[in-house]
Amino acid sequence: DQQVKQNSPSLSVQEGRISILNCDYTNSMFDYFLWYKKYPAEGPTFLISISSIKDKNEDGRFTVFLNKSAKHLSLHIVPSQPGDSAVYFCAASARRDTGRRALTFGSGTRLQVQP
């Protein structure tokens, strides 16, 4: 049973437009969320994160929104650039008192930004 779900395997957008990647989670013990970006033949790299005490975190062109009541988060990329073409993974961290010490990842969304 996937606790972190990315229901869109792929997304294609035009350069300059907004890319919106979505992620849903089921475990209410998750209280910290991260997005990773992965290029082919490379390991994932950290992009941006958000704590459950916030509903928005922004870093340059990247903004993550968290809706705790819906157990939903999204990553917005504005404006999208061809270099953003990659697979994006959503990940979640459980509260320390749960004893779970590792991130749970979603299945990823492949973003293609068309020039």
DSSP secondary structure letters along 21-86: EEEEE--TTEEEEEEEEE-TTS--EEEEEEETT-SEEEETTEEEEEETTTTEEEEEESS--GGG-E
Least distance CB 50 / other proteins (angstroms): 11
Distance CA 52, CA 41 (A): 32
- Total number of residues binding other proteins (CB under 8 A)? 24
- Does position 101 interact with other proteins (CB under 8 A)? The reply is yes
- Does position 107 interact with other proteins (CB under 8 A)? The reply is yes
- Does position 46 interact with other proteins (CB under 8 A)? The reply is yes
- Does position 53 interact with other proteins (CB under 8 A)? The reply is no
- Give phi and psi for 21, each to the nearest 5: -110, 135
- Does position 41 interact with other proteins (CB under 8 A)? The reply is yes
Among 7, 45, 67, 81, binds other proteins (CB under 8 A): 45
- Does position 32 interact with other proteins (CB under 8 A)? The reply is yes
